[in-house]
Each structure stands twice: as structure tokens, then as C-alpha cells.
Structure 1
Amino acid sequence: MKRTAPLSVAVAVSMTASLAAGVLFTAGTAAAHDRSGASRVDRDLYGTKAPYEPQGRPGHYQKAPKGFAPVFTENVARHGSRAMSDGEDGEAVLAVLGRAQEQGALTDLGARLAPQVRTLLTAASTLGFGNLSARGADEQRQTALRMEQRLPSLFRSIAADRRPVVVETSGVARAVASAGAFTAGLTAGEPALAGTIKAPVTDKNLLYFHKQPQNADYQAYLASDPDLAAVLSAVEHEPRTARAARHAVGRLFRAGFAEAMSTEEQVSFARSLHALYSAAPDLSVEAPGVDLTPFLAHDDARWFAYLDDAEEFYQSGPAFSGRTITYRMAGVLLDDLLAQAGARAAGTSGNGAVLRFTHAEEIEPLAVLLGLPGSTEQADPEEPYTYRNNPWRGAEVAPMGANIQWDLFADTPADGRPAAYLVRMLYNEKETAFKSSCRPVAKGSYFYPLDELKHCLAHS
């Protein structure tokens, strides 16, 4: 998501006091690293660009109630890790580094940065800006393999009965490529599925709804809502932003050069650097030698990740108390989840699975409607979102490859009564309860009657 241009400092000042009082700025040290080099503890440093990590515990999922077996599965998944959308941030960073080099103003650390940025940009350009990376493809393949391993009897029956596996995407290249990688993972686990997987179809109204004409009111909100503009300007102009930028610049440039940069220039440079810092783990295969972690101090990286999270929170997440503009449009996707499960239960659909591949702008509002953990708490207009007053984190709500999965289970009654149907939800592969207004089959169970979900998930 593109950063929103801030308003004047004067507009932001009115909100600064409450923001400064509420921001939690947590220092810490790096912990064990995953394949990307991104710390497992510090995934929040990367926001929604954090590479995917499954949250479930294989072998520890609840068993379905006695007599119930899986008969259908469906998901909504964000595309996997990808190259950054364009080279703008990289070129901006290189331009400042070039001027400093001409003036002999680079520190020893600063002198090491430009080659890293050039390597990252070359990797992204070669892959294609915005395209799925090798890491992203592997995220999708591995997620699919784990899905098949969790539901082996279902996928065997899909293959044996030649039941269709429907694949839907936003039509954007990285989503289409994610679908291809995912289905390749399924067939790697169960080769007989190959003949059941349908060619992907594009449904922008379902999986790219934030850009469609019917949501013009949402697009107007992004472009001109005064509350949105004011709060993002307040966040951008919080004094910690200037301090973090000044510290970041001071580590890379000698004092005279750094001091000659305006505060706005320092902030712009630091945010572009953080954008590259966040993008590097997603290109760990294409640019294996790139490590930008030395160039931003942990505390500074965390602050700039917070700024990115604030934009995501207000633009696609729960946003302002009492307003639904950012998430009500995801109702079309929630309705489709219910409709597909309902059609399978009613016998009006023979689909074995429905797989959907989309974007963070769809996952985040859907998470609000579903009441997923950490996704729903809104912010008072007079008290901006911070890490202290709200649990919403981009790296947890919608990392690369984020997914929501519904598994439909049916019993096989011997007495002639109609079959009963239960739904289990996984969020990033972790068993997850539906919102509190939904009642499971038993206390503490992750299995819910389908008819119950049709009522408790109803929305206006």
C-alpha cells in the first residue's frame, strides 16, 4: 500500500499530545532467525511485508466430533512474498547516497549500503516489480502440502470422485502465480488431484473489491477523508519520527551532510530505507547476499514499521470507532465463504475445494468481519492507533501468504435423518474461534454448526 502524503505540520499538532502519550516503543534484541534472516521475535519490524510463517501446531489440532469427516475445504489467501511494487524507494535512497559519496560524506556503514540496494533493485527488476518471488512460491507450495496433510481423506476422495477444485484469483500476476504454486503443492502431495484442479478464473469483484467501482465511497475515503488525512499526518509528524530519521541518517552520513538535510528529507530517506529493509526478506532467494538489518537500528526500524502499520490499520483495517467504510465491502467475500459451504452441504455444488488468492487489502477487512484475533479493535478519533493501545499488527493480521481456511465436516447418520455439518476455521493455519456471538458445538471446541455461522456472521 502506498504511503499517504502527510498534511501540514500544523494539522498534525492537534493530535500529537495524545499520540505521544500512547505510543509503545519497544526495544529488543534479535532472536533466532528464519530462512529470510528476519527475526522470529521481531516480525513486527516488517509489517505486512513479513514473510509467511504457519501458526498451527501439526499433530495438535482438535479431532472432529465422533462420526464427522471432512467433505469440503475452502480458503482465502494473500499472495506469497513478492518483489516491491517499483524501484522508487531504491532510487531515492541511491540518489542521496550518491550525493553524499561525491562530497566524501559517507560513514563506513553508509559506504556499504549502495551495493546492497543496487543488488536488491536488480533482483526485483529481473524478477519483475510486484511479482511473486521464489520464497513466495515456496510459501504457497508448503501451505498447500500442509493443507493436504491435515485433510488426507478429503483429498483422496476429491481425487477418486473427480470432484472439482475451483481456483479463483484477483487477476493480478502475483495472485495468479500464487494459485499456481499452491495447486502445484497439492498435486505434489496427492498426484491424482491433477485432473480435478480447474484453470484459475479471475473475479475482481470478489478478490480485488477495494479497487472496483461499487466501492467508490471507499476510494473517496482514501483520497479525501479529513479524519484519515489528519490522523496519518499526526502519526507522521509525531516527534519520534523525526528523531528516528535523524538517528538513521546520522549513522550513514557525516555530520555536515546529515545536518544539511531538512527534517522532511531525512524522514523521506529513512522511510524509503525502511521500505527496502522490509522488502529484502521477501527476495531472499533472488538476492541472497542482501542484508539491510545493519543499516537501520532496531528501534528505528520498529518505529517506521509502526508508521506503516498505522496506514494499514486506518486504510484497510478496523480504523475509526463507529465507522465501517474500511471493512464492510469485505461482506462479499464473507458471503461467498458461507455460500460455498452452504451449497456443498445442500448438495447443490459438487466442488471438493474452492481456493481464492487475493491481497492484503482484502484479507484485512475480512479479518474484521470475521472477528479474528487482533484484527477488530477500532481507534477513537481523538486517540490515534498505537502499539500500546491496540493489538493490531500487520505482521500478524496480513503477512505475506496470510490465509483463512474453512473446513466443512459432515456426519453420516444411519437413521435416515439429514446429515449435520460443522465448520472449523484456521487462520494462518492455527485453529481459531469464530467471533464470540457464534456458539461452537461444545465449550472450547473449534467446530461450529454451519447453520449457526449463517446466523452469527450475518452483516448489514
Structure 2
Amino acid sequence: MKRTAPLSTAMAVSLAAGVLFTTGTASAGEQAGPSRAGRDVYGTKTPYAPQGGPGRYQDAPEGFVPVFTENVARHGSRAMTDSGDGDAVLAVLRTAQDHGALTGLGARLGPQVRSLLAAASALGYGNLSARGAEEHRQTALRLERRLPTLVAGIAARHESIAVETSGVPRAVASADAFTGALASGEPALAGLIKAPVTDKNLLYFHKQPQNADYQAYVKSDPQLAGVLAGIDADPRTAETAHRVVTRLFRGDFAATLSARAQLSFARSLYQLYSAAPDLSVEAPDVDLTPFLTPHDAQWFAYLDDAEEFYEKGPAFSGRTITYRMAGVLLDDLLAQAEAKAAGTNRNGAVLRFTHAEEIEPLAALMGLPGSTEPAEPGRPYAYGNNPWRGAEVSPMAANIQWDLFASTPSEGRPAGYLVRMLYNEKETAFKQSCKPVAKGSYFYELNELKHCLTHP
């Protein structure tokens, strides 16, 4: 759950925020708000949609065929992790109702929130939803359609399919949905899929002891606290919260709520708003879109994106604390591909299922689209000055896939190996320091990646 009382935080670190905003305040303020109408309203809770499709993929260079695939995927859509935001919203609604202070719109909100909470509770807070399972099933089936010769080869060679997860139930359930679809799409794979194994150091690294410095950064770093407090303290935050409240409560009651209470209520409502689409199967009659205008939802999405950006993404220029820990995952991607090329990896595929806390740092470490620009001093993250968007970097079921292609060895010439990367199923170039096999190609020599994908 996001911070629900940011104004108190702002007061606690006002001096730090003042220093950070001394330079460039006007331009940051002018550009801080959402700039793309109708988009970015759900942030990292955005349900998954593939960004590539049939007919949009380059053919491999002549003589190369797929021999291995591996991925890193976020769990699919899920229930919110607890009832806290719903309980907070309902408490204010009950008080307003007791005072006869609900508007017509406000009177409609309570039943919607109770229905959403009931659906989440029945599913299990934090658990994978039906929509989330379907996101992974369809991703698996599209993989099979993209790489039919690889799938056939894995079956013919009786190669194993390794499955690794963080051990968190929603990640395990995502793995089960994905591999179940692989087996249904190609029954010959069923006996080749290994049972999932848990690797927290690889797929839940943000919580592990070796990353205590990162945990301290999130908890108490003054630069982080200062910039987030400054963003929260933008006058538009309080204005947006006030608009939300006055649409739901009559003026006399709304006036009794402090600015802090209004903001706390509005942010909790936004958390429910952004969680509802992920439970579209379990709660088909819930629709929270009437209770936040698109403009107001975008502002709260921006606030959430700012927090994600600074805690898990590119963050501050000159600091690598938020993403260097993802090196263990990048190293594993390379190691698995290298082992396959060397003949020591007997798997036809390695499938990994994890969380936004791992996907976002990995995207920043690899310089994937939208994750290349940290915030410069005195110029806080804003939609107008930075391309990072939670909905694009790490929506539900976000995934990074590497496909390994091999050429047939000939007399005096060993096999060559190329890698193609897909990001949310869209062909994606590696960072600029990596050179593809030809201009405009999405294929890279494996040896080139070994040298260009260096990291802190």
C-alpha cells in the first residue's frame, strides 16, 4: 500500500525538500503533471497487454534457428495485498453517511468498495487473480506460436524446462498458469516441465540480507525522503484530493476534513481504483471509474510513479543503489545462454517468475526503453521531463525474454550464437553500447552481449 499521509512526511523533511527544489523548481512544477490524456491511470497495476504480435518480428539471419529461450516475468494481475485502503475509505463513508453528508455519487461508492473487498478476501489478499492467470497463459501460448521450431525441438530432444520463482504464492501461481498453458499448447512438453524451485536471492533479491543497503535507502535515505516529500507537497496534490472529496461529500462535511485527511482518503480511493481492473473476473460488477475523473486519477498515478521511479527505477543521477542489485539477475540471463551455447545447459527453456521490485531494477540496469534516464539534481522526476511510466516499464505480468539462435557448424567453423530480446513481447534493442549484427537488427552475437552488458 502506498503512503497515505504524505503531508506529514513533507513537514518532517521540509528543509531537505527546500534544498532539492531550490534549483529548477519552476520547470519541474510546470511539467510535473500527467501529459497524456486517458493514459497512465493505473501505474504498475495496469493489466498486461502484449506490445508485439505476429508479423512484427524480424526473421533470424539466414542459417540460424532457435535453440533456447529464457524469461523473467512479473506475476500477473492480483488482489490488493490487504484491506487497509478499503477499510479507510469505508470508515470515512460511514461517518459521512451518519451525518447525511453523502452526495448522490458518494452514496454509490460504499457498495462498490465492499464488493471489491469481498472479492479480494475470497480470492485471498495478494493472490493471483483469474485475469492474472490468463495473462500468463496467453503469454505462454504466444511464445509457442512465435517459436514453433524451438518447441518442437525441445520435445524431440527431451530437453527440460526449468521453472524458478520467488516462492511468493502469486509468483508460483503465475508459473503454474504459464507452464500449464505450455503443456496444453504442446502436450509433448508436459513431462519435460520441472517442478518450480524457489530462488529468493535471484527473484526476491530486494528483501535479502545482502541488499540491506537498499532496504536502508528505502526506509531512511534523506535524499529520497526529500524529493518524494517535495513531489507530494505540490499544490496540485491537495487540490486534486479536495476535488475528489467534494464530489463525494457535501460541502459542510468536506470542510471538516483536514487537508491531510482529504489526501489520505483520496489516495486510498485511488489504490482501490487502480486495483479493481485486476479483479475484473472476481468482481465483474465493480466499477470505480465514476469516482475519480481521468485527470485526477492521472495525478495520483503520477505520484505512485514517482515513488516507483525513485525506489525501484533509475532514481537519482550518479547513484546506482536502486538497480545495481539486479546484477545477479542479468548475470544469470547471460550465464544460462552461455551454458546453452557451451553445451552444458540441458534445458530447452528457463522460466523465472518474480515481482515489480525485480523487474524495474533490471530494466534500469539494462537500459531498457523508458528506464534510461535518472533524475538530475534540482529537476525532480515528472511526466514532462522523463519517459519512465510504471504502466509501460512494469505492468502486471511484465516480461523480458531472451531467445538464443544457433547456426549449424560447418567444417572448420563452429556454431555461431545470436540473442534476440523481447520486452513485453516487443522486439527490443539492447543498450547502445551493444552492437547488433547489422544496422536496425534486433539480433546480437552472444559474445557481444558478454562484453557490452557490464554493470556496477
In the alignment, which residue of structure 2 is the partner of 1:400?
396
| Aligned mate of 1:142, from 133, 138, 143 | 138
Give the alignment partner of residue 242 of structure 1, picking from 238, 246, 251.
Answer: 238
Inter-partner Cα distance in structure 2 for 1:81 and 1:112: 26
| CA distance, structure 2, for counterparts of residue 327 and residue 4 of structure 1 | 26
Distance across 2 between alignment mates of 1:204 and 1:3: 26
Q: Distance in 2 between matches of 1:160 and 1:416?
A: 27
CA contact (8 A) 2:202 2:328 kept: yes
The answer to whether residue 356 in structure 2 is matched with residue 360 in structure 1 is yes
Distance of 2:276 and 2:421 partners within structure 1: 31
Counterpart pick for 2:375 among 379, 389, 404? 379
Report the Cα distance in structure 1 between the residues aligned to 2:204 and 2:233, rounded to whole angstroms.
Answer: 32
Residues paired across the two proteins, number: 447
Report deviation, 1:15. 4.9
Q: Deviations over 1:138-160 (max 9, x none)?
A: 00000000001100111111112
SS of the residue corresponding to residue 352 of structure 1 reads strand
Q: How does 1:42-121 map to 2 (within 5 A)?
A: 42=39, 44-121=40-117
Aligned to 1:22: 31
TM-score, normalised on structure 2?
Answer: 0.96
Residue aligned with 2:53, SS: coil
CA distance in 2, matches of 1:161, 1:367: 33
Give the conservation status (yes or no) of the 8 Å contact 1:80–1:139: yes
Q: Quick check: 1:4–1:232 contact (8 Å CA) kept in 2?
A: no
1:24-423 to 2 correspondences below 5 Å: 24-26=33-35, 28=37, 42=39, 44-423=40-419
8 Å Cα contact 2:44/2:396 also seen in 1: yes
The superposition leaves residues 309-351 of structure 1 with CA deviations (integer Å, 9 ceiling, x where unpaired) of 0000000000000000000000000000000000000011111
1:440 touches 1:447 (CA, 8 Å); kept in 2? yes
Structure 2 CA distance for aligned equivalents of residues 106 and 113 of structure 1 = 10
What is the deviation of 1:414? 2.7
Gapped regions of structure 2 (runs ≥ 5): none
| CA displacement at 1:4 relative to structure 2 | 7.8
Letter of the 1:86 partner, please give it: D
Separation (CA, whole Å) in 2 of partners of 1:372 and 1:26:
22
Cα deviation code 1:30-58 (max 9, x no counterpart): xxxxxxxxxxx52x100000000000021
Structure 2 partner of 1:438: 434
User: Does structure 2 retain, via aligned residues, the 8 Å contact 1:133–1:283?
Assistant: yes
The AA in structure 2 aligned to 1:106 is L
Work out whether residues 176 and 200 of structure 1, in 8 Å CA contact, stay in contact via their aligned partners in 2: yes
Paired residue type of 2:184: A
Is the partner of 2:421 in helix, strand or coil?
Answer: strand
Question: What is the TM-score with the length of structure 1 in the denominator?
Answer: 0.95
Could you tell me which residue of structure 1 aligns to residue 449 of structure 2? 453
Q: Which runs of 5+ in 1 are unaligned?
A: 29-40
Q: Which moved more, 1:370-379 or 1:398-407?
A: 370-379
Using the alignment, how far apart are the partners of 1:27 and 1:111 within structure 2? 31
d(CA) in 2 for partners of 1:436, 1:27: 27
Cα contact 1:227–1:381 (8 A) shared by 2: no
The 1-side partners of 2:35 and 2:410 are apart by 58
Larger displacement relative to structure 2 (4-13 or 210-219)? 4-13
Q: Is the 8 A contact 1:27 1:299 kept in 2?
A: no
Matches of 1:365 and 1:5 in 2, distance apart?
Answer: 26
- The match for 1:33 is none
The CA deviation at 1:415 is 2.0
Q: Distance in 1 between matches of 2:315 and 2:447?
A: 30
Quote the Cα distance in structure 2 between the aligned partners of 1:138 and 1:309.
26
In structure 2, distance between residues paired with 1:426 and 1:25: 28
Residues 202-249 of structure 1, C-alpha deviations (whole Å, 9 max, x = no match): 000000000000000000001110000001111111100000000000
Mapped to 2, the partners of 1:60 and 1:279 lie a distance apart of 31
Query: What is aligned with 2:3?
Result: 3
Query: Which residue type is aligned with residue 450 of structure 1?
Result: L
* Contact 2:35 2:383 survives alignment (8 Å): no
Q: CA deviation at 1:188?
A: 1.5
How big is the shift at 1:21?
2.9
The Cα of 1:413 is off from its aligned counterpart by 2.6
Given residue 380 of structure 1, which amino acid in structure 2 is its aligned partner? E
8 A Cα contact 1:235 1:307, kept in partner: yes
Name the CA distance, whole Å, in 1 between partners of 2:332 and 2:352.
11
Aligned to 1:38: none
Residue 307 to residue 437, structure 1, CA distance change in 2 (3 Å)? same
Residues 135-192 of structure 1, C-alpha deviations (whole Å, 9 max, x = no match): 0000000000000110011111111211010000000000000000000111121111
Question: Quick check: 2:137–2:181 contact (8 Å CA) kept in 1?
Answer: yes
- 1:124 maps to a residue whose letter is A
**Aligned equivalents of 2:371, 2:414: Cα separation in 1:** 36
